[in-house]
A and B are shown apart, each in its own frame.
Chain A
Amino acid sequence: MKLTKRFENLLEKDFHITEKRKLIFGIPIAILVVAIVLMIVFNFTLGAPLNLSTDFTGGYSVDVKLSNKLTEENRETYYKQIESVLRTVTDENGKTYNISISGAMQSQGIGTDDSSIHVRYSAVSGVSESEMSNLVNPAIISALESGVLGKIPTVAIDGKTITLTYGEVINAQNEGNPFDVLRAQFTKLIPTLNEKYNCGISATESDITLDAQSGNKQIVINCASDVVSSAELESALVDGMKLPDKYYGSVVGGELVGATVSSELLFKAMLAISLALIFMLCYIGLRFQLSSGLACIIALFHDIIIVFAAMAIFHIEINNTFIAAIITILGYSINNSIILFDRVRERMRLASSKKLTPEAVANASIKETLLRSINTTITTLIMILMVAIIGVTDIRIFAFPIIIGLLAGTFSSICIAPSLWALFQRVGKNRENFALAPKNKPEKPAKATELSA
């Protein structure tokens, strides 16, 4: 209750907000400067000044074809698996990449023979397009094949035995025995193994066995002589002993995907917003004053610039929902400023306002609308904060710019718009409406402004 008392006392006093121009215009400029500096830094460290999602930049996609293994129940498990595999992908040169998935994964068909999971990801920063397609994308595909499909074995060589461990069970399935296929693959591999790596494997099937103790996930190969372990041998085994697509699915894709937000959509949205601004300016000019309209539009620009600055500073992903966020901010911000200028308009109709400075008129109007501005901001913030707190990641990405926009909108309608309006009143014919000294003489401050010093 003390707080409300203090607030009421505050409302009893005269406000001097519009005179504090240095502070009012300094804050947004400072934020903008920070944003620009950080954008330059990000441009060199992270590869891009803004964190644009593949909705704008395009990217790559792979389909993890799981066929009928994919069900409603295990979908989420697969999603998590794919996500963790993509976090560390190592290419053939041993370089590790952290692949960032853009948006959410989608299952295409469920439980059918051709069900798959569609994954979109953005290009790794600092990696050229040809490197992406020759090096990184194949690495991603094989990482998913071993990590998610369990198709690729890990190789362990110990004296005369080679053990291949798979991520999946390899004995009989409903449509045949994958082990049979593996055995056939192995037969093809024997000459290479013998000639290149001196394994001395006889061409009998008894040399390759399925280890039941490992839960039918291991294959043990017995050689005649000790085998020298080498990276080449391992990769020959890995390549030759991949589990068959027929049972364990495959990973396809790794190709360029265009932007979902087309330049046409962006252009038309920009055109519509610019035209909307012009029409708004005309409407406010007609109903209020042209200077009020200009102040409103500049306040609006301020809000949008601050939102962009915040997205840059926190390097938050900008996706296709950002356009919707900007439209929302636009509607909210203009509302705020107009409520204020409605009070200004009312005040200007009074004869007594001729004896005041424009700053005094603006300050009085701010005071009258302050409670409303605060209360509306609170109710709106309650709703959007709930969404941000309870919602999923994607919705948080949408909520963040709106929260920033709300705060910026409140600030601009209380501080920037009225200050600008008061400034505009000191120019040209508008001066005549106020108690302002003629331009060439030094100004005699009116009573209301005297107190601010």
Chain B
Amino acid sequence: MDEKNSLTEIESGENKSSAKSKTAVQPARKAVKKKSTIVKLVLIGVALLIGMIFAFVPMQFGLKNYNPFLSAESISLGLDLKGGVYAVYRATNTDTDDFDTKMEGTRSALSSMLADQGYTEATIVREGSDRIRVEVPDVDDPQKILDIIGEPTTVKFVLDSTNETVITGDNVVSAEAGTDPSSGYVVRLRLDSEGRRKFAEATANHINEKMSIYLGSSTTAVSSPTINSAIPNGEAIITGFASYEEAQQRAGQILSGTFDVALELKECKSISATLGEDAMLYGLIAGLVGFVLVIVFLCVVYRLLGVAASFALMIYVVLYLFFLAALPWVQLTLPGIAGILLSIGMAVDANIIIFERIKDEYRGGKSIMAAYHAGFKKALFAILDSNVTTVIACILLMLLGTGSVSGFALTLLVGVVISLFTALVVSRAILKYFINLNSYNAKLYNLKRGKLYAGLDADVTDADILAEMERERQAKEDSKLEKENAKLEKARAKAERRAQNNQDNKGGETA
């Protein structure tokens, strides 16, 4: 929309100046309304500053503390940076067949259970022959691990009338907490085929009887609902929980009770960060130093183009930190931080591709403004294609990978998408404003002419381009108008035809 504005401004300016000067093609340099461009640039700067403050500076609003995006409170940190809680479970039934295989199965069941709850960076290790050590990051209270994995418990559904056990934990495939409009907080169980069959049979044969649900070795039922109708779909629901947290805890316990090996909690304590606190500090210092060096490099090599890229890069960092803080399943580890720092280096790539294109176009005789437009247009597909392939890889790794692999792929994916946005939208806008301010001094942009075009002015064809753009816009508007007219015409013709038809019909009747 401002494109249109500036164009009309340029045109009116041109008219004025052409009256004074005699040259046929008048440079557009004096014509652009610089004030509004400067205002826009300042606005972007202010927005960036506010973003930076929210990203990095802890603040206090009245009594409430605000945690910036970049803080241990906002971004969930992995075991290596923040530590967490560990628990050691011991298998109680070691004398079963295939004990080793069953322990392995239990191990992977535990790991997928933790990943489902967002703890992708948790580690699960076998210790000795009969123990499993679980380390969960970003949890302060050892008691909390009990909410996550819990003390494994068993579940059974028993018919009150016959005292017959219908299903046990062995039939449970998954358990999750939820709410039910009629009975409040519940745990929903999904049953395997055998459990489904048994449950359907029992509920069909014992309508209007009570079925009690027992957890663990307790002899008091959690709840004893009355069977109202047969339940063929195998969805068993346990009701009677006071809170969602309680339901969630129970769901976890039931699920861990379904493991191949019966586990008992042996010890559970908090655990320190493996890398110590200075690891993160050093990482941040490295990031800051590297970032400044990259900006210096860009500004030296590409001058004003580099300045625009630097702005875009800063916005990239703020946005990235925001998403890392906002997305719940991101858990940052030291490689994650290194990956982010690396992605800053790579986010520059899109900018560099565009700038090299602009340089090429300028070398080939275009004006700065024309080179800018052509450069973005030509670089677009290269940038899109290269990023789409990375996105494909990230999505596959997220879907198929487990634990830390899928977590890392997610951080990478977020980075790629944001870097696309900042390069194609932010850099482009800022660069346009810079060129609006000065489209005649190629030295500002470190652009050089090729041998063939050595004598050409930097903004030689701008007036032509602008006129061309205006013509295009006009043509577009014209064709739009034409289309609208055609539509109206069509509608009119249709109405006429209808009227004609009606008349014909009427005529037929009278005849």
Which residues of A line the B interface, CB within 8 A?
Answer: 61, 75-76, 103-110, 112, 114, 118, 255-260, 262, 264-265, 268-269, 271-273, 275-276, 279-280, 283-284, 287-288, 320-321, 323-325, 327-328, 330-332, 334-335, 338-339, 342-343, 346, 368-369, 371-372, 375-376, 378-387, 389-392, 394-395, 398-399, 402
Residue from the list A260, A284, A321, A383 in contact with B123, Cβ < 8 A:
A260
Task: Using known A-B contacts A264-B402, A331-B394, A394-B279, determine if residue A386 contacts B286 with beta carbons closer than 8 Å.
Answer: yes
CB of B401 within 8 A of chain A? yes
For B285, the closest partner residue in chain A by CB is A390
Residue from the list A256, A325, A339, A384 in contact with B345, Cβ < 8 A:
A384
Q: Is the beta-carbon distance between A387 and B127 smaller than 8 angstroms?
A: no
Q: Is the beta-carbon distance between A276 and B393 smaller than 8 angstroms?
A: yes
Distance, CA A61 to CA B267, complexed state (A): 16
Q: Is the beta-carbon distance between B274 and A104 smaller than 8 angstroms?
A: yes
Q: Is the beta-carbon distance between A321 and B334 smaller than 8 angstroms?
A: yes
Q: Is the beta-carbon distance between A272 and B274 smaller than 8 angstroms?
A: no
For A8, the closest partner residue in chain B by CB is B448
12 pairs, CB–CB < 8 Å, chain A vs chain B: A104-B274, A262-B107, A264-B402, A265-B401, A273-B396, A375-B301, A382-B345, A384-B341, A384-B345, A387-B283, A392-B278, A398-B334
Q: Is the beta-carbon distance between A257 and B397 smaller than 8 angstroms?
A: no
Distance, CA A381 to CA B346, complexed state (A): 10
Residue from the list A262, A276, A327, A368 in contact with B408, Cβ < 8 A:
A327
Task: Using known A-B contacts A260-B123, A280-B393, A383-B345, determine if residue A378 contacts B269 with beta carbons closer than 8 Å.
Answer: no
Residue from the list A323, A335, A368, A378 in contact with B346, Cβ < 8 A:
A335
For A369, the closest partner residue in chain B by CB is B356
Q: Would you give the shortest CB distance from B129 to chain A, in whole angstroms?
A: 8
Q: Is the beta-carbon distance between A380 and B274 smaller than 8 angstroms?
A: no
Distance, CA A283 to CA B270, complexed state (A): 47
Task: Using known A-B contacts A269-B401, A384-B341, A392-B279, determine if residue A276 contacts B392 with beta carbons closer than 8 Å.
Answer: yes
Q: Would you give the shortest CB distance from B87 to chain A, in whole angstroms?
A: 11
Q: Would you give the shortest CB distance from B346 to chain A, in whole angstroms?
A: 6
Contacts of A380 in B (CB 8 A): 342, 345-346, 348-349
Of the listed residues B333, B338, B378, B382, the one surrounded by the most CB atoms of chain A closer than 10 A to its CB is B338
Q: Is the beta-carbon distance between A382 and B290 smaller than 8 angstroms?
A: yes
Q: Is the beta-carbon distance between B127 and A255 smaller than 8 angstroms?
A: yes
Q: Is the beta-carbon distance between A328 and B339 smaller than 8 angstroms?
A: yes
Q: Is the beta-carbon distance between A258 and B127 smaller than 8 angstroms?
A: yes
Q: Is the beta-carbon distance between A387 and B290 smaller than 8 angstroms?
A: yes
Q: Is the beta-carbon distance between B338 and A376 smaller than 8 angstroms?
A: no
Residue interface bits B346-359, CB-to-A below 8 A is 1, else 0? 10110011001001
Residue from the list B126, B294, B341 in contact with A257, Cβ < 8 A:
B126
Distance, CA A40 to CA B397, complexed state (A): 33
Residue interface bits B386-412, CB-to-A below 8 A is 1, else 0? 111110111011011111110011001
CB of B434 within 8 A of chain A? no
- Chain A at the B interface: SS class: helix
Contacts of A375 in B (CB 8 A): 301, 352, 356
Distance, CA A391 to CA B416, complexed state (A): 24
Distance, CA A346 to CA B121, complexed state (A): 44
Q: Would you give the shortest CB distance from A247 to chain B, in whole angstroms?
A: 21
Q: Would you give the shortest CB distance from A323 to chain B, in whole angstroms?
A: 6
For A284, the closest partner residue in chain B by CB is B389
CB of B509 within 8 A of chain A? no
For B400, the closest partner residue in chain A by CB is A272
Task: Using known A-B contacts A110-B272, A335-B349, determine if residue A386 contacts B341 with beta carbons closer than 8 Å.
Answer: yes
Which residues of B line the A interface, CB within 8 A?
Answer: 80, 83, 86, 107-108, 111, 123-129, 133, 267, 269-276, 278-279, 282-283, 285-287, 289-291, 293-294, 297-298, 301, 333-336, 338-339, 341-342, 344-346, 348-349, 352-353, 356, 359-360, 378, 381-382, 385-390, 392-394, 396-397, 399-405, 408-409, 412, 416
Contacts of A103 in B (CB 8 A): 274
Q: Is the beta-carbon distance between A287 and B385 smaller than 8 angstroms?
A: yes
Residue from the list A112, A279, A321, A381 in contact with B392, Cβ < 8 A:
A279
Q: Would you give the shortest CB distance from A22 to chain B, in whole angstroms?
A: 30
> 10 tightest CB-CB pairs across the interface, nearest first?
A380-B345, A258-B126, A386-B290, A342-B382, A272-B400, A390-B286, A104-B274, A383-B345, A338-B386, A276-B393
Q: Would you give the shortest CB distance from B115 to chain A, in whole angstroms?
A: 10
Q: Would you give the shortest CB distance from A91 to chain B, in whole angstroms?
A: 21
Distance, CA A280 to CA B332, complexed state (A): 27
Distance, CA A343 to CA B399, complexed state (A): 33
Residue from the list B133, B348, B393, B409 in contact with A376, Cβ < 8 A:
B348
Distance, CA A118 to CA B267, complexed state (A): 13
Task: Using known A-B contacts A268-B401, A392-B282, determine if residue A280 contacts B360 with beta carbons closer than 8 Å.
Answer: no
For B344, the closest partner residue in chain A by CB is A383
Q: Add 12 more A-B contacts to A108-B271, A378-B297, A384-B338 (CB < 8 A).
A: A61-B127, A104-B276, A265-B405, A276-B393, A287-B385, A324-B408, A331-B416, A342-B382, A368-B360, A375-B301, A384-B290, A384-B345
Of the listed residues B387, B388, B396, the one surrounded by the most CB atoms of chain A closer than 10 A to its CB is B396
Distance, CA A402 to CA B293, complexed state (A): 19
Distance, CA A120 to CA B377, complexed state (A): 55
Q: Would you give the shortest CB distance from B348 to chain A, in whole angstroms?
A: 4
Q: Would you give the shortest CB distance from B64 to chain A, in whole angstroms?
A: 28
Q: Is the beta-carbon distance between A342 and B385 smaller than 8 angstroms?
A: yes
Q: Is the beta-carbon distance between A382 and B405 smaller than 8 angstroms?
A: no
Contacts of B285 in A (CB 8 A): 390
Of the listed residues B279, B293, B348, B385, the one surrounded by the most CB atoms of chain A closer than 10 A to its CB is B385
Q: Would you give the shortest CB distance from B393 to chain A, in whole angstroms?
A: 4
Of the listed residues A328, A332, A383, A384, the one surrounded by the most CB atoms of chain B closer than 10 A to its CB is A383
Q: Is the beta-carbon distance between A371 and B356 smaller than 8 angstroms?
A: yes
Q: Is the beta-carbon distance between B286 and A323 smaller than 8 angstroms?
A: no
Distance, CA A112 to CA B272, complexed state (A): 14
Task: Using known A-B contacts A104-B274, A108-B271, determine if residue A386 contacts B293 with beta carbons closer than 8 Å.
Answer: yes
Q: Is the beta-carbon distance between A272 and B348 smaller than 8 angstroms?
A: no
Task: Using known A-B contacts A104-B274, A327-B412, A335-B346, determine if residue A276 contacts B397 with beta carbons closer than 8 Å.
Answer: yes
Distance, CA A114 to CA B341, complexed state (A): 39
Distance, CA A325 to CA B405, complexed state (A): 10
Contacts of B394 in A (CB 8 A): 331
Task: Using known A-B contacts A262-B111, A383-B294, A387-B341, determine if residue A279 contacts B396 with beta carbons closer than 8 Å.
Answer: yes
Q: Is the beta-carbon distance between A389 and B127 smaller than 8 angstroms?
A: no
Q: Is the beta-carbon distance between B404 and A324 smaller than 8 angstroms?
A: yes
Contacts of A108 in B (CB 8 A): 86, 269-272
Contacts of A284 in B (CB 8 A): 385, 389
For A337, the closest partner residue in chain B by CB is B386
Q: Is the beta-carbon distance between A386 and B289 smaller than 8 angstroms?
A: yes
Contacts of A389 in B (CB 8 A): 286
Contacts of B412 in A (CB 8 A): 327-328, 331
Distance, CA A24 to CA B508, complexed state (A): 88
Task: Using known A-B contacts A260-B123, A382-B297, determine if residue A372 contacts B342 with beta carbons closer than 8 Å.
Answer: no
Q: Would you give the shortest CB distance from B147 to chain A, in whole angstroms?
A: 19
Contacts of A394 in B (CB 8 A): 80, 274-275, 279, 334
Q: Would you give the shortest CB distance from B85 to chain A, in whole angstroms?
A: 10
Contacts of A381 in B (CB 8 A): 345
Distance, CA A247 to CA B383, complexed state (A): 65
Q: Would you give the shortest CB distance from A445 to chain B, in whole angstroms?
A: 27
Contacts of B403 in A (CB 8 A): 265
Distance, CA A288 to CA B388, complexed state (A): 13
Q: Would you give the shortest CB distance from B105 to chain A, in whole angstroms?
A: 10
Q: Would you give the shortest CB distance from A392 to chain B, in whole angstroms?
A: 5
For A70, the closest partner residue in chain B by CB is B272
Contacts of B408 in A (CB 8 A): 323-324, 327
